Structure 1
Amino acid sequence: MKTRKNILISWVCFGILAGLSGCAPKVYQLRPVSGDVVRIEGRPTTKAETNGIVVVASYERLDLQYVALDIEVKNKSDRPFEVDPADFQYTALDEEQKTVFITTSSPQKPLMFSAADPIREADRTAYNQEREVKRLKTAKVINTVLLVAAVASDVASSSNRNNHRPERWVQNRVTHDNIYAAIQAKRMIDHGLFADRMQRYDYETYRWKELSMKPTTLRPGESVRGLVYLPMSRDAKYMLINYPVSDTESVMLTFQQEWVKEKQRKK
């Protein structure tokens, strides 16, 4: 009996371990599959050129809801060129690199995404920070009002002759102690949410003002480099990125997007 029991336990443990190994976390990968692809600083990097405008791009990281690309734009033409990171956009492609369409619209439209405008996003983040400060001030006022009301109720019930009996006194103390604890808990939650949100907004401010590519005018021979943030879509197997260099022409780059199981490190 013990032998069968040990065998059964061993098989159960084996099944659990196999299940855990099969549930390895998936990591996001994005790699260029078009243009002149080379490895620079250990990362696959692609380059394409149209009308003297060169775009060099590589995948940087998945940043919250955005795919961050490290992009450099070079002006090899003989004219000034206006660079705006918000002009980058991509069309979602399927496994066969065919356009993915929005099925909810009629007529169907290609599934396309535009890069984030760093100036607009920085302004939006500043507004959100101001809103959070106002929200915390309002919460403080509400908490103060609740506390004053609780103290008034406590004093009034304590002075009531009917509450001098031991059982009524104990009930009164339990009730008001719970009210005070609830107000304190609400205060801690308010401050915790404020700290978490402000921390995120501080990072977003840094992202849009320090890391992202800025709109600029490139004179012949000049270049600009920074991160371009494209909304991430799980519906895309490939991202056909385009950047217009004129009314009729664009620089085109294709990246393959996939989620793969993270390799287990050997102990």
Structure 2
Amino acid sequence: MLPFYFRPLRLLALLGLATACAPTYQLGLRPAQPTGLFAEGREQAQAVADSVEVRLSFVCYEPTRVVFEAEYRNPTRRALVVDPAAFQYQASRLPTPALAPGQKAKRPKPLPGAEVTAAVAAASMALPLPPLPPREVAAFDPEPEIIALRERAERAARKAARIDWFGVALTVASVATDVASIGKNETRAQYEGRAAIRDAAVTYSVVSAATKIEHAVAAEVMQQRAAMLQDYALRKVTLAPGDQVRGYLYFPRYDAADGLVVKAPVGSTAASLEFAQTRRRR
């Protein structure tokens, strides 16, 4: 028998082996019912509410978000306010197949390429199935994020451009000690002290330069993110009669759902657009 202090290592090894053997899945979203409508290769779900046509297509998954593209067409004679913050989705899940009396649950082994439900995928990976969101999940409002990204980018850019006076003082001190030592017989302690100042100045200069580069890169990334949201995100707009608008919608991801019903606001009502979330065994 292994000593007690080796047992956690054995458990970790077994857990790692089980995780390595677990199947992986590729997530996707598509309209629950085929529509034959496409935008840039993406199939669109379609709904009409109060004579206003709404189309929605899945764009991509981000690490914490799912991105749709919404399209509004207003054929009516009245103006319509489109607000991305008023979008919501409701998550649903297909039921887990019931077991016969006395039958034990077995760990599923889907074949590569097979599409499975959230329950089957979780069971095949020996993972618990999280509960569904208790209420509708709201889309992100891009305006606060655009403002916050711009402010953070400006702060990072200022840090990147800021003069590091401590680094300047340390470099000046190093040069001054080197100049003062010219033509003098130094003791070993004096030489080591001067070398320590010089090494500290060089090290600090390298670290300071790297930090400035990090701030500059962070500023550029946040500026690009803000510009992308400004150009591509669906933003609050008044849609005149006969006009149309399209833009990206950002929702929190919820991978453990089999279906999403997106509620698109249309005046005082809403259009429902249904999507199936699929998992294909890799």
Q: Same fold (TM over 0.5)?
A: yes
Aligned mate of 2:276, from 234, 239, 256: 256
Instruction: Provide Cα deviations, 1:134-174, integer angstroms capped at 9, x if missing partner.
Output: 3335xx44x322331454367469859xx922x43553354
Other-structure match for 2:48:
49
In 2, distance between residues paired with 1:24 and 1:200? 34
Moved more, 51-60 or 234-243: 234-243
Alpha carbons of 1:151 and 1:78: their partners in 2 closer, same or farther (altered >3 Å)? Answer: closer
TM-aligned CA deviation for residue 202 of structure 1? 2.3
Q: Which amino acid aligns with 1:222?
A: D
Q: TM-score, normalised by structure 1?
A: 0.69
Letter in 2 for 1:227: Y
Cα distance in 2 for partners of 1:27, 1:196 equals 31
CA distance in structure 1 between the partners assigned to 2:264 and 2:255 by the alignment: 22
Q: Which runs of 4+ in 1 moved over 6 A?
A: 21-25
Which letter maps to 1:255?
F
Deviation (angstroms), 1:251: 0.9
Q: Over residues 167-217 of structure 1, what are the superposed CA-to-partner deviations in whole Å (9 max), with x where a residue is unaligned?
A: 435533542233123212222222221232122122212212211223222
Higher helix share: 1
**Structure 1 180/149 Cα, relative in aligned 2: closer, same or farther at 3 Å?**
closer
Q: Give matches, 1:178-193, under 5 Å.
A: 178-193=199-214
* 3-state SS in 1 of match to 2:137: strand
Instruction: Report what 1:239 is aligned to.
Output: 260
Task: Say if 1:77 and 1:238 are closer, same or farther in 2 by CA, change over 3 A.
Answer: same
TM-score, normalised via structure 2 length = 0.66
Count of equivalent residues: 228
Separation in structure 1 between the aligned mates of residue 279 and residue 174 of structure 2, nearest angstrom: 58
Using the aligned pairs only, state the percent identity.
21
**What letter is aligned with 2:274?**
T
> Counterpart of 1:127 in structure 2: which amino acid?
E
2:152 pairs with one of 128, 134, 138: 128
Distance apart, 1:92 and its partner CA: 3.1
Report matched runs for 1:1-267 at 5 Å: 27-34=26-33, 37-38=35-36, 40=38, 41-63=40-62, 65-96=64-95, 100-101=131-132, 109-110=134-135, 112-137=136-161, 140-141=162-163, 143-149=164-170, 151-152=172-173, 155=176, 164-165=186-187, 167-247=188-268, 249-258=269-278, 260=280
Paired amino acid for 2:271: V
Alpha-carbon separation, structure 1, partners of 2:158 and 2:94: 48
Unaligned runs of 5+ in 1: 1-20, 103-108, 263-267
Greater Cα shift, 24-33 or 61-70: 24-33
Gaps of 5+ in 2: 1-19, 96-116, 119-129
Displacement of 1:58 after TM fit? 0.9
- Closer/same/farther in 2, CA of residues 195 and 51 from structure 1, 3 Å limit: same
Q: CA separation in 2, counterparts of 1:27 and 1:169?
A: 65
